[in-house]
Chain A
Amino acid sequence: MRVVEAVDLTKVYHNRYIALNALDLTVDKGMVYGLVGPNGAGKSTIFRIMLGLQRPTAGDVRVFGESMTPQRADLRRRIGFLPTNPSLPRDMTPISYLQFVGKLLGMDRGEVMIRLTTLLQAVDLTSAGSQRIDELSTGMVTRLGIAAALMNDPELLIFDEPTSGLDPAGRRQTIELIRELSGNDRTIIIATHILGDVERVCTDIGIITDGRIIHQGPMAEMRRLVRQRTLSLEVEGNIRHFEQQLPELDPFGAIRFERIGSEFRISFLGAEPIPTYVQRVLDLVDRTGVELLHLNTGAYEIEEAFLRRLEEDRAHSFVRASAWTTAQKLALPPGSNGATADVITEAIPAPDHERDGIDAANVDADLDADGHEESAHAGGDGDTEAEAADGGVLHSGTP
């Protein structure tokens, strides 16, 4: 069952700022959907439209199969929302605020009291229950916001930057809470720019930038978008000697690595499976006599994939913009400019994900078909691929 469906969702503020640009988004029942994107990408705007707090300039958002408007209180009753750094009534206490929310939700007094005591305990606010909200810390207010969102046990939970402003302990607690909330057919949408949070709790991911979803699909699929296999390790001892031997890990030297102090981040571009490379790294550690402090595989996978998608999207925009600019520069007779632009656009190679068929609309089939072939060619093609992931210039973006 489709819980949220946005089609061509567009939001333009005061005819000046495009917050959402014909965005399509689908979230199915039971998903824990991570909406990831840089600040200002449009994450909060989607939520506000989803809740009927704002109206779309064009397009439509359907929640539980029905169009959301400011008057659809019945739909909002089925949604629990935690805004970023929630602004709650400062003069209230957690107990009075949850009572207030319970009444707004039409719950009876007894039910409200049972629910609020359970929730205050769950979010560890029992002892602060009678403190004024303006005396609570940021973390406590966020936890209170979570409790308020859960007051009537809604089917859909929307968390906008739930770990924003929290200390590491608070962040961990919040993530654990979200993890506990998932399942039981409950759908959760989390907007964040902290990729670690997404990796820990989400089943699906959507990447948003400049008001558009540039990728959405299961987390596993997202991980497969990372072409190079990455391994991070920290060693002690004769680090220089270890570093000098690193290219020998691949018979063709198809590796890239960077060193930050005693930490190495190694990307294997060759065709061999990652366990083989891990074994070779361990052998190298033995051989060079360094002490291994830690070794992680795939620690940066999601980050890599995320950055890669953003880079590809930017390159794509650049290609289109270049084509348009070039067409404008050509002093051709009026009427022929459009055709010229099309020809130029076609002549310029498409970004990686489109060329390889990893298209947001058609990810499944293409990834399966493409992934293996990609590994086989990694040795020869690897440099450019790695440049892309490292924030370098994409070959597809330089016609």
Chain B
Amino acid sequence: MEAYFTLVRRDLEQLISSWLLRGWVVLLAAPAAFLVVVAAREDELASETLAAYVAAVLAPLSWIVISVLAGTAVSGEASTIADSVLSKSVTRSEYIWAKITSRLVVFMTIYFSVVIPFAYLIDRYAISNDTTMSGVMSGVVLVGVLFVFLTSFGIALSTVFRNSQFAVVAALLTVAVSGAVLQFLGLKWMSTTAVIGGLPETFRGDTPFADQLRVLVVFAALSLAAIVSGVWVFERRDL
């Protein structure tokens, strides 16, 4: 376990020193602050403001940043992984689980530390009688689960592709085209765009609990499948 914690700490340090991550935090926080001010002055609806922020800022930015940082988790270290880490007394499982842990912790910490204060401030300063506490919490959790899936999927791709650019492009493209494919298959509710598009209703508390649970379970299962696949591939591949 000593090696696992050392690797988690090392990956956290790497992530924190990443300019992409720092830029992501700034680009999430600045529009959020701006929207709070606008919502307070213009008497905007809380549910619409929250949903607009997620759809226009949080989701697209996070889609790009998480795809890049998750897609490069393993493939980005392809040159050093064998020489400086896995030739030491580290197991493959320790390494890949350390990557999964650190990336999930960082992304979720940033997401919640931006979105929770934002939701609170919007609720306080905008016209908030159209949202419910449980609706806002559900919406925040649903978006969080989408990000967990995106992280897991990106890491899984980074174990498959040796080239980090391929892994990132594959992660970006898969999410981009999945909406159309799922619609064609009659599973539009499973697409990220459908979940995000339905957020105003969710924030208002109008989305049936069963629908929310279905999305939650499906994306949690997909995340688990992505993680299991990533671990399986990584433990078997030659370095």
State the A residues within 8 Å of B (CB).
48, 51, 53-55, 70-71, 73-74, 76-77, 79, 81, 83, 86-89, 91, 97, 100-101, 103-106, 145, 148
New A-B contacts (20) at CB < 8 Å, excluding given A71-B91, A103-B3: A48-B82, A48-B238, A54-B238, A55-B236, A55-B238, A71-B92, A71-B93, A79-B87, A83-B83, A83-B87, A86-B83, A88-B83, A88-B84, A89-B80, A91-B17, A103-B2, A104-B6, A104-B89, A105-B88, A145-B83
Q: Are A104 and B80 in contact (CB under 8 A)?
A: no
Report yes or no: B93 in contact with A104, Cβ–Cβ below 8 A.
no
C-alpha spacing A324/B10, complex, angstroms: 57
Check B89 against A76 for contact (C-beta < 8 Å).
Answer: yes
In the bound complex, residues from chain B placing their C-beta under 8 Å from that of A71 are 91-93, 235
Q: Which residue of B lies closest to A55 (CB)?
A: B238
Partner of B90, one of A54, A73, A88: A73
| Contacting pair B80 A87 (CB below 8 A) | yes
- Asked whether, in the complex, the Cβ of B239 is within 8 Å of the Cβ of A53, the reply is yes
Does any Cβ of A come within 8 Å of B48's Cβ?
A: no
Measured between beta carbons, the chain B residues less than 8 angstroms from A89 are 80, 84
Known: A70-B235, A73-B91. A88 touches B6 (CB 8 A): no
A53 with B86: in contact, given A48-B239, A73-B91, A89-B80 (CB under 8 Å)? Answer: yes
Given A54-B238, A91-B14, A104-B6, A70–B92 Cβ distance below 8 Å? Answer: yes
Q: Does B183 contact A (CB under 8 A)?
A: no
CB contact between A105 and one of B10, B80, B86, B89 (< 8 Å): that residue: B89
Q: Find out whether the CB atom of A81 lies under 8 angstroms from the CB atom of B90.
A: no
Assembly CA distance A100 to B10 (angstroms)? 8
B84 touches A97 (CB 8 A): yes
A87 and B239 contact, CB distance less than 8 A: no
How far is the CB of A20 from the nearest CB of chain B, in Å? 12
- Asked whether any CB of chain A lies closer than 8 Å to the CB of B79, the reply is yes
Q: Separation in Å of the A323 CB from the closest CB of chain B?
A: 35
Question: What is the minimal beta-carbon distance from A80 to any residue of chain B, in angstroms?
Answer: 9
CB distance from B13 to the nearest CB of A (A): 9
Q: Give the docked Cα–Cα distance between A53 and B95 (Å).
A: 13
User: How far does the Cβ of B63 sit from chain A's closest Cβ, in whole Å?
Assistant: 26
Assess the B88–A76 pair: CB atoms within 8 A.
Answer: yes
- What's the count of A-B pairs with C-beta under 8 Å? 74
**Smallest CB–CB gap between B3 and chain A, Å?**
5
* Bound complex: CA A100 to CA B238 (Å): 24
Residues of chain A within 8 A of B79, CB atoms compared: 87
Residue B85 at the A interface, CB < 8 A?
yes
Nearest residue in A to B78 (C-beta to C-beta)?
A: A87
User: What are the 6 tightest A-B residue pairs by CB atom distance, in nearest-first order?
Assistant: A77-B89, A54-B238, A103-B6, A73-B89, A87-B79, A53-B239
On chain B, the residues within 8 Å of A51 by CB distance are 87
A388 to B90, CA, bound (A): 48
Interface residues of B in 140-197 (CB under 8 A from A): none
Nearest Cβ in chain B — how far from A269, in angstroms?
47
Residues of A within 8 A of B88 (CB): 76-77, 101, 104-105
Q: Residues of A contacting B84 with CB < 8 Å? A: 86-89, 97, 101, 148
Chain B residues with Cβ below 8 Å from A53 are 82, 86-87, 238-239
- Select from chain A the residue with minimum beta-carbon distance to B10: A100
A51→B239 CA distance, assembly (Å): 11
- Residues on A with beta carbons closer than 8 Å to the beta carbon of B7: 104
Tell me, yes or no, whether B44 is within 8 Å of chain A by CB: no
Contact status B3-A104, CB under 8 Å: yes
On chain B, the residues within 8 Å of A104 by CB distance are 2-3, 6-7, 85, 88-90
Considering only CB atoms, which chain B residue lies closest to A99 in the complex?
B6
**Complex alpha-carbon distance, A76 and B82, angstroms:** 12
Q: Which residue of B lies closest to A72 (CB)?
A: B91
Which residue of A70, A100, A103 is within 8 Å of B91 (Cβ)? A70
Give the chain A neighbours of B93 by CB distance below 8 A.
71
Counting CB contacts under 8 A, is B201 at the interface?
no
Report Cα–Cα, A89/B81, bound state, in Å.
9
Report B-chain residues with C-beta under 8 Å of the C-beta of A83: 82-83, 87
Chain B residue at minimum C-beta to C-beta distance from A81: B87
Instruction: Give me 24 A-to-B residue pairs in the complex whose CB atoms sit less than 8 angstroms apart, sorted by A's number.
Output: A53-B86, A53-B239, A54-B238, A70-B235, A71-B92, A73-B89, A73-B90, A76-B88, A79-B87, A81-B87, A83-B82, A83-B83, A83-B87, A87-B83, A88-B83, A91-B14, A100-B6, A101-B88, A104-B6, A104-B7, A105-B88, A105-B89, A106-B3, A145-B83
